[in-house]
Structure 1
Amino acid sequence: MFDWLQHFADWLIYSVFKVGAETHLGTALNFFVYDTLKILILLFIIVFIMGIVNTYFPIDKLKDYLNRKKLYGLEYFFSSLFGAITPFCSCSSVPLFIGFVQGGIPLGVTFSFLITSPLVNEVAVAMFLGMFGVKATLIYAISGILLGTLGGWILGKFKLEPLLSDWVKKILDNKIQQTEFTEEKRTFKQRLPEITQSAWDIVKGVLLYVIIGIAIGAAMHGYVPENFFNTYLGGGEWWTVPLAVIVAVPMYANAAGIVPVIQVFVAKGVPLGTAIAFMMATVGLSIPEATLLKKVMSIKLIAIFFGVVTLCIILSGFLFNIIL
């Protein structure tokens, strides 16, 4: 599908700029040009498609649906699915999490959204599809949604409402009846310019992260020795997945910045499951997110949330290594 891009990258780097194909610099630049163009094309296409989905599936309708329907546990799945189709990182997901709590959605269901939203979105899917193919992308996306579903269900069973912050408790005690929101009905043709502009805005918003991430990946691809990462994370020992997750938790990056680095991890010998677990912990759990969550949660609740999600990511890492 993207053979023409590879030919273009070869022509640009090896023929136009006269950089040797066997040199570290030539390998790194070729990787950078090819991956940047491929990811940006896929990114716009998938963001555009998901923009159509988001237009007809707004958060207000979801909150209303979750509040009015008896779903027999499927509310965790639907909340997790909604998190997957919204283009938010862990930090920007927190305001929506607050909106869920204010809207009276059960806490476990809101956690399902909060877990999945930064892990699986159109940016991550587009980049994953371009770098790892359809099979790995489907496993990654489905497992991310199931991770949010399971994590939210577990946290919901703990009855953690008393550990919400005093600010949230006051909101719940003095809940104001919200008026029903009626959206002006417009045809798809009328919405199309808005959807296109929104997709382009998202691409522009992550463009710098994409370029930086691919640049780091390109440098690693061209200059890092073949067995460097394999030495520490690729031996197949049981402790490599927990180590990758624990090391990643204090870090912070969005999918656009970390996926190109993960691609190089895999190319250098790290099992894909271990690499994905590292990415999920980096994207889904971070110090900035914890800082924002202090507005709505106690320190104890944040610790429980991080602990449960960390454990789920570790288990998913083991599962990835078995499947992939």
Structure 2
Amino acid sequence: MVVTIQIVGHKKSGKTLVTTQLIQALTQAGVSVTAVKHDAHWGQMDQPGTDSDRFSQAGASQVVLDSNQGSFYHFQQPQALETTFSHLSPTAVRLIEGYKAGPYPKLVMLKPDELATNWHQKGILAFASLTDRPDLDLIGTDQIVNWLLTYLQMHLQEEKKMSDPLTHFNDQDRAKMVDVTQKAVTSRVATATGQITMHPDTLSRIKTGKIKKGDVLAVAQVAGIMAAKKTSELIPMCHLIPLTGVDLHFSDNKKDTITVTSKVKTKHVTGVEIEALNAVQIALLTIYDMCKAMDRGMVIHDVHLLEKDGGKSGHFVFGE
């Protein structure tokens, strides 16, 4: 896995200096780095009259120049960042200087007379400047680089955890149920949520009990509880877990959306995140089934784990 960050800013904001010093700090720490420079000024690798230039002029979509100084690539058309990365050897960190519209987390370098409110790109982590400013916390090259190093090291550790060998395969590389025999019995809880959006009239009929199949939310509540209890019968590698509590709550935005929230508890050797998610999904599907005769355009969305606690992995809260 790779951690990617963009260092963006307008001309002479200091982004090249910060990127260079960050590369030096990472490589000195033994971290491999891919550096990508976005040049909006038609910069070219090739020199007029050289073989690589002649190949490009002849229409080759890609040209590779291999020399004692390394290998250089020239693509006739601008590439999406992921396309560019696909041609390169993998490294632990990818640093992108510029490319303001890129999809990766961004540190924005501000010039002395520039305001943070002028920036509207998505994914901005922080604003920084080489010159002293009372409105910013990251001032000067050393402070900026140290902040970036901390950010990257934290995410490298997370990526390492995620890339640890999978435990769902046996010595023949075939799927297996994970052996949890030696794990400690602890109290575990998981909370999940999800939404279904519908025509306003559909929501009104649900709330006033005018759906022909019956009390929609009452049926969905029972369906969600049953789903939590039967999760191991539906998800192949889930353990059969004795649940000590299942509860579902329903709320709406008074317009067109119902939110379902489930909380599932156990005292066992493994967690109940999938049980909580399954309870939400089936409750939402039940609402759809009860109302589909009048509204087939309902949309189920935003199903996710809100919180879990207990076990070796500890406490998780969505968005933190």
Smaller-chain TM-score bracket: under 0.3
- TM-score (norm. length: structure 1): 0.22
Which structure is higher in RCO with an 8 Å CA cutoff and minimum separation 6? Answer: 1
Which one has the largest radius of gyration? 2
- TM-score (norm. length: structure 2): 0.22
Identify, as 1 or 2, the structure richer in helix. Answer: 1
Identify, as 1 or 2, the structure richer in strand. Answer: 2
